[in-house]
């Protein structure tokens, strides 16, 4: 799995596309933080009408610079905070992608495990099916039990086909995520972690830069600064200018000028409305956190992982071993002429169902663990 993740960092088309989009967004943010370019303009004047003496030609050059109120540090601060937010979102996206790759890998492992077990069950089922005719002729099995067993054996073949399709589908999804053909990969059993205490989980969430809490703090800070910036930029931009003129008589003129827009129609209303909406969103999130609702959400996610893990361990350590003992005992009894083929087959199926459920629970453990890690903003 770790090798697949490493290769995904280099080959994943999804990650490459996201990184390219991030570069474009960061470039736009940097561009917006810069002041407007200075403007240099020049004019040449020729006398058009004159009676006796032709007037002088004249050259005028003007250098101007538009100045907005946000140019004095505030726009740069907002751009810096937004760039930080985008970089955090990029790292969070990487965490999400790695989790999706891990989950697909775990699901592939589970499907391969069940497929291997189904193959063994199919062989045993075929052996039982081959002996059914002679048992029926001897009257040792009823027509009803014979039909039930043969139908059940046939369903195993159908399930095997379904498993193969699911394995191919999961391999295809994993290949798309990683950019690496994994159809020939034999997935190994995932490493089972010991969950820290909920207190440790809370502390980790509070410290993690990618966690919900830190991201909410940053979002509130950005919203507050954007609101101030929008208010400042509702004032008209000023454009001071330096002017120089020269005519054919050798006279030079120097001057200064200033221009500004009259805020009659446009008063930066759109930016102020966006800033108010962002501030309102940030306030709602902070109220959700401060009310204790987020702590409850975090604890529920934590308990869900613990519950799924306990269920999986019960199946792994108690249900499967006990059913396997019952199955082995039933096989010995049947070989010694005790018990019926129908009873043996029922226990075979029950063991297979417990095996399927055990694998399914482990996959659910990793899925719920991924949800918890996104809330924390860190991999456990």
Residue 363 pLDDT greater than 70, yes or no: yes
**What percentage of residues in the chain have a pLDDT greater than 90?**
41
Sign of the CA dihedral running 374, 362, 7, 173 = negative
Residue 133 pLDDT greater than 70, yes or no: no
Nearest to 360 by CA among 129, 161, 110, 130: 110
CA angle 195, 197, 201 (to 5 degrees): 85
Mean pLDDT over residues 51-71, rounded? 86
Q: Which two tokens stand for residue 274?
A: 């966006």
DSSP 345-360: HHHHHHHHHHHHHHHH
Q: What is the pLDDT of residue 223?
A: 92
Q: Which two tokens stand for residue 210?
A: 């990618």
DSSP state letter for 379: -
User: What angle, 0 to 180 degrees and rounded to 10, lies between the N-to-C axes of helices 293-314 and 198-207?
Assistant: 130
The per-residue pLDDT for range 156-171, each reduced to its tens digit, is 888 889 999 999 999 9
String of b and e for 354-363 (b: at least 16 CB within 10 Å)?
A: bbbebbbbbb
Whether 109 contacts 188, CB under 8 Å:
yes
Residue 255 pLDDT greater than 90, yes or no: yes
Q: For residue 234, give the 3-state DSSP assignment.
A: coil
Residue 288 buriedness (CB in 10 A; 0-12 / 13-18 / 19+): middle
Residues 6+ apart with CB under 8 A from 252: 244, 245, 246
Residue 8 pLDDT greater than 70, yes or no: yes
H helix intervals, 243-340: 269-290, 293-314, 320-335
Residues 6+ apart with CB under 8 A from 283: 220
Instruction: Read off the pTM.
Output: 0.80
DSSP state letter for 67: B
Q: For residue 363, give the 3-state DSSP assignment.
A: helix
Q: Give the C-alpha separation, 101 to 103, whole Å.
A: 5
CB < 8 Å & 24+ apart, contacts of 75-81 = 75/32, 75/33, 75/229, 76/33, 77/225, 78/33, 78/222, 78/225, 78/226, 78/229, 79/29, 79/30, 79/32, 79/33, 80/33, 81/218, 81/221, 81/222, 81/225
Q: Which of 107-116, 229-238, 305-314, 364-373 has the lowest mean pLDDT?
A: 229-238
Domain ranges of the chain: 2-46+56-376
**Containing H/E element for 255?**
strand 252-260
Residue 341 pLDDT greater than 80, yes or no: no
Q: Which two tokens stand for residue 321?
A: 């071993």
Q: Which two tokens stand for residue 377?
A: 């903003």
Q: Which two tokens stand for residue 143?
A: 């027509």
Q: Give the C-alpha separation, 54 to 32, whole Å.
A: 50
Residue 15 pLDDT greater than 70, yes or no: yes
Q: Looking at domain 2-46+56-376, which CATH architecture does it have?
A: Up-down Bundle (1.20)
Give residue 250's region: left, alpha or beta (phi > 0; psi -120 to 50): left
Residue 59 banded pLDDT, cuts 50, 70, 90? very high
Residue 35 banded pLDDT, cuts 50, 70, 90? confident
Residue 137 banded pLDDT, cuts 50, 70, 90? low
Q: What is the pLDDT of residue 244?
A: 95
Q: Give the C-alpha separation, 106 to 112, whole Å.
A: 10
Q: What is the pLDDT of residue 198?
A: 92
The per-residue pLDDT for range 174-220, each reduced to its tens digit, is 999 988 888 888 888 878 778 899 999 999 999 998 889 999 999 99
Sign of the CA dihedral running 62, 66, 71, 75 = negative
DSSP state letter for 71: G
Provide the residue count of the chain.
Answer: 380
The per-residue pLDDT for range 285-323, each reduced to its tens digit, is 999 998 989 999 999 999 999 999 999 999 999 999 999
């Amino acid at each position: 799995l770790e090798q697949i993740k490493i290769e995904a960092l280099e080959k994943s088309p999804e990650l490459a596309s996201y990184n390219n989009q991030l570069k474009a967004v960061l470039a736009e943010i940097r561009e917006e933080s810069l002041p407007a370019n200075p403007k240099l303009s020049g004019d040449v004047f020729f006398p058009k009408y004159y009676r006796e003496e032709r007037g002088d030609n004249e050259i005028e050059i003007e250098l101007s610079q538009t100045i907005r109120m946000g140019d004095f540090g505030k726009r740069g601060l907002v751009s810096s905070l937004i760039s930080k937010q985008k970089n955090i979102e990029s790292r969070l996206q990487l965490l999400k992608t790695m989790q999706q790759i891990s989950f697909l890998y775990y699901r592939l492992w589970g499907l391969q495990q069940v497929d291997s077990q189904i193959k063994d069950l199919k062989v045993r089922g075929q052996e039982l099916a081959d002996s059914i005719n002679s048992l029926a002729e001897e009257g040792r099995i009823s027509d009803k039990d014979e039909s039930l067993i043969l139908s059940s054996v046939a369903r195993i073949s159908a399930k095997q086909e379904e498993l193969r399709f699911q394995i191919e589908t999961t391999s295809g999804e994993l290949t798309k995520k990683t950019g690496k053909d994994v159809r020939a990969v034999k997935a190994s059993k995932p490493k089972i972690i010991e969950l820290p205490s909920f207190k440790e989980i809370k502390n980790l969430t509070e410290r993690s830069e990618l966690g919900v809490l830190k991201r909410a703090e940053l979002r509130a800070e950005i919203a507050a600064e954007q609101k101030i910036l929008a208010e400042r930029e509702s004032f008209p931009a000023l454009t001071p200018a330096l002017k120089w003129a020269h005519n054919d008589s050798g006279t030079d003129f120097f001057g200064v000028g200033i221009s500004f827009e009259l805020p009659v129609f446009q008063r930066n209303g759109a930016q102020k409305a966006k800033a108010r909406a962002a501030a309102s969103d940030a306030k709602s999130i902070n109220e959700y956190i401060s009310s204790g609702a987020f702590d409850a959400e975090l604890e529920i996610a934590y308990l869900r992982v613990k519950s799924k893990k306990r269920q999986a361990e019960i199946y792994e350590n108690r249900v499967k071993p006990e059913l396997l003992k019952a199955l082995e005992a039933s096989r010995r009894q049947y070989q010694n002429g005790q018990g019926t083929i129908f009873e043996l087959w029922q226990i075979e199926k029950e063991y297979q169902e417990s095996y399927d459920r055990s694998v399914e629970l482990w996959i659910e453990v990793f899925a719920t663990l991924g949800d918890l890690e996104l809330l924390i903003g860190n991999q456990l």
